[in-house]
Amino acid sequence: MIKTLPSLAAAFAILFSTSASTNAAKSMEALNRMDWWREARFGMFIHWGVYSSLAGEWKGQRVEGYAEHIQRIAKIKRDTYLEQVVKPFNPASFNADEWVRAAKQTGMGYIIITAMHHDGVAMFDSKADDYSVAKTSRFGRDPLRELKTACDKHGIKLGVYYSHAIDWSLSGDPRFPEPNGPERRKACVEGKALPQMLELIRNYQPAILWGDTPHHNPQELNLQILDALRKEDPNLILNGRIAGSAYGDYHTTTDRPAEFGLMIAPEEQDWEAIPTTNESYGYHAHDKSHKPPGHFIQLLAKAAARGGNLLLNIGPKGDGTFASEDREILDAIAKWWKVNGDSIRGTERTPLAPQSWGESTLKGNTLYLHVFDWPKDGKLLVGGLDAEVSSASLLADPKTPLVFERIGPDLQITLPAAAPDAADSVIALECKKRPTGDAARLLQTNTTNTLSVFTAELLGPVDRKGWSLGKGTSITAHAKGWKTKDCVVRWKTRLTRPSTFQVTVHYDAPEADKAKIETDGGPIAAKSQPSFGGKFSILIGNQTLQGKVSQTGMNVALDLGQIALEPGTCDIAIKADEITGKELMLFKSLTLTPLP
């Protein structure tokens, strides 16, 4: 049976009606425990453990993948790990107060730290198991206690990550005789994981308990853990990786998201994105793939625009200090936050359709416009805004009013020549009532319109394992599984005046020997990869452009020529005419660039 995603307007209607009924069913206690989390919108993830001292190296060789997975990737035996990694661990420069002050200055309202990652080493003083930095390492201190003290001092909420379904330290342990399977998992949970999780709640009073990799446990075991944690502390927020998004308080995205969709499914009412500054969560000295600060500022705005939180990961070094690249990123975000933090903290999902110039967030009757692409002609057109606006001003210059005028269903704002911030300049629109918006996307005539597949409707045989959106990482920010002609990508758009555009398709089609796939430890070379190729059509209103997928590679840009459009509403769709590979392409986006 062919399944079709609902229209965006219908999806939003479903979202809001479902949210209302879901909230009505939830206890007031559950709603109250999430209040501060929704208010915060921004937090710091910290992956730090004994593996941090290895910095992505073992025996003088660089180890590819997540640094926190080095024991598994390098196949380090437990006894060797204990003697050469755990016992010598001594982060002499660790200063919990400095960490918390850095988070607070950056605008973060909470911190989540790895209390125990997959290597099984507790980063706290545990009476349930001696395999901890407090009892086993040279450090001999309880860093979680120090972090808790600093968080309380500075008014930051503390959360703890705990790997409840993977613990490499228990492999071959005589207490757990079955090497794999549900009985061993049950013994591991009863003997260590659950006692330590309860210890964390009782001794450190975390605001969040962040589980991970629940698919390694039988689901009934995850639900038992969830029930025990709820009984221990009803006010504790539990993420969706303990037993799945349907059972947690909020949904968590894939690792290292560079892109995410509109987040309109019922389980995506509350959600959290978890990017990291480079490609590893733990400190990896050889990974220099750090993104610029503007990437995270824009990702933060996009998350808030879709009603979610951004949990930005930092991997401190083995000595307890932040890497210089991470400090530079945090300092730049802090500078932006000092001026524009009100446009994130305490906001909610935007009522507007995606805008070509950036994103928007809402707080009460104030709509914040996050302008990523400053219009060269000084005219910012806010598409489909249904509200009477009383004032407009830049957060960087709140005392200087901006001139604005209503042009049909849109609002045009006259801007100064230069953007106050190269990454994200924020305009506050004060409205006389709560604003609403049109579901159709406005095609702008003074800036490039990038129609991402993550803001499109996927029509046809939509299935998570087949035709669907990719994970949204830097190498999976595309649609995948385009194997049949009934797979279609569609957007609903609108144009205000006659315009001509250059049309370009962007896709991935990696060659088999150069392709990578995502794993729990990061991207690795693919053993096999579908081939790509075929012909497709782009239907824009009553006009058609055709293209051919012949060039392989990542981020391929295929120009299809020019098209002249008249004012009015217009569906834009991409469909396959012929598929000569196993898949047509990994479609990323369609750009319409206005021509003079």
Instruction: Report the alpha-carbon distance of residue 2 to residue 329 in Å, rounded.
Output: 45
pLDDT confidence of residue 11: 43
pLDDT in tens, 149-168: 999 999 999 999 999 999 99
- Identify the band that residue 32 occupies on the pLDDT scale cut at 50, 70 and 90: confident
The answer as to CATH 3.40.50.300 being correct for domain 449-594 is no
The candidate with the shortest Cα–Cα distance to 589, out of 475, 499, 406, 455, is 455
Instruction: Report the alpha-carbon distance of residue 129 to residue 233 in Å, rounded.
Output: 22
Residues 6+ apart with CB under 8 A from 41: 109, 300, 303, 304, 309, 310, 344, 345, 346, 347
Amino acid at residue number 141: R
Residue 183, CB-side half-sphere exposure with 13 Å CA sphere: 5
Instruction: Report the alpha-carbon distance of residue 226 to residue 231 in Å, rounded.
Output: 9
Residues 6+ apart with CB under 8 A from 13: none
Q: Helix 219-232 vs helix 194-204: angle between axes, to the nearest 10 degrees?
A: 20
Contact 592, 506 (CB under 8 A): no
Instruction: Report the DSSP pairing between strands 157-162 and 553-565.
Output: unpaired
pLDDT confidence of residue 17: 42
pLDDT in tens, 531-546: 999 999 999 989 999 9
- Is a pLDDT exceeding 60 seen at residue 3? no
Contact 448, 589 (CB under 8 A): no
Query: Percent of the chain beyond pLDDT 70?
Result: 90
Contact 539, 571 (CB under 8 A): yes
Q: Phi and psi of 489, rounded to 5°?
A: -110, 135
Domain boundaries, the chain: 8-341, 358-439, 449-594
Q: Phi and psi of 71, rounded to 5°?
A: -60, -40
pLDDT in tens, 268-296: 999 999 999 999 999 999 999 999 999 99
Instruction: Report the alpha-carbon distance of residue 112 to residue 52 in Å, rounded.
Output: 17
Residues 6+ apart with CB under 8 A from 291: 277, 278, 329
Residues 6+ apart with CB under 8 A from 303: 41, 260, 273, 309, 310
Instruction: Report the alpha-carbon distance of residue 271 to residue 308 in Å, rounded.
Output: 5
The candidate with the shortest Cα–Cα distance to 519, out of 62, 69, 49, 165, is 69
H or E, element range at 545: strand 543-549
Superfamily of domain 8-341: Glycosidases (3.20.20.80)
pLDDT confidence of residue 178: 43
- Identify the band that residue 47 occupies on the pLDDT scale cut at 50, 70 and 90: very high
Instruction: Report the alpha-carbon distance of residue 218 to residue 223 in Å, rounded.
Output: 9
Provide the β-strand partners of residue 361: 368
- Identify the band that residue 23 occupies on the pLDDT scale cut at 50, 70 and 90: very low
- Identify the band that residue 15 occupies on the pLDDT scale cut at 50, 70 and 90: very low
Instruction: Report the alpha-carbon distance of residue 263 to residue 275 in Å, rounded.
Output: 16
Place of tokens 């957060």: 395
pLDDT in tens, 330-378: 999 999 999 999 999 999 999 999 999 999 999 999 999 999 999 999 9
- Is a pLDDT exceeding 60 seen at residue 473? yes
H or E, element range at 379: strand 379-382
The candidate with the shortest Cα–Cα distance to 502, out of 538, 472, 527, is 538
- Identify the band that residue 515 occupies on the pLDDT scale cut at 50, 70 and 90: low
Contact 536, 489 (CB under 8 A): no
pLDDT confidence of residue 578: 98
pLDDT confidence of residue 181: 74
- Identify the band that residue 9 occupies on the pLDDT scale cut at 50, 70 and 90: very low
pLDDT in tens, 69-101: 999 999 999 999 999 999 999 999 999 999 999
H or E, element range at 407: strand 404-407
Arithmetic mean of pLDDT, 8-31: 47
* pTM for the model: 0.93
> Which contacts (CB < 8 Å, 24+ apart) does range 394-398 have?
394/420, 394/425, 394/426, 394/427, 394/428, 395/339, 395/340, 395/342, 395/343, 395/368, 395/426, 395/427, 395/428, 396/339, 396/340, 396/420, 396/421, 396/425, 396/426, 398/428
Architecture of the structural domain at 358-439: Sandwich (2.60)
Residue 213, sorted as left (phi over 0), alpha (psi -120 to 50) or beta, turns out to be left
pLDDT confidence of residue 514: 62
The overall average pLDDT reported for the chain is 92
Instruction: Report the alpha-carbon distance of residue 508 to residue 579 in Å, rounded.
Output: 15
Q: Which two tokens stand for residue 246?
A: 């349907």
Residue 570, CB-side half-sphere exposure with 13 Å CA sphere: 20
pLDDT confidence of residue 10: 45
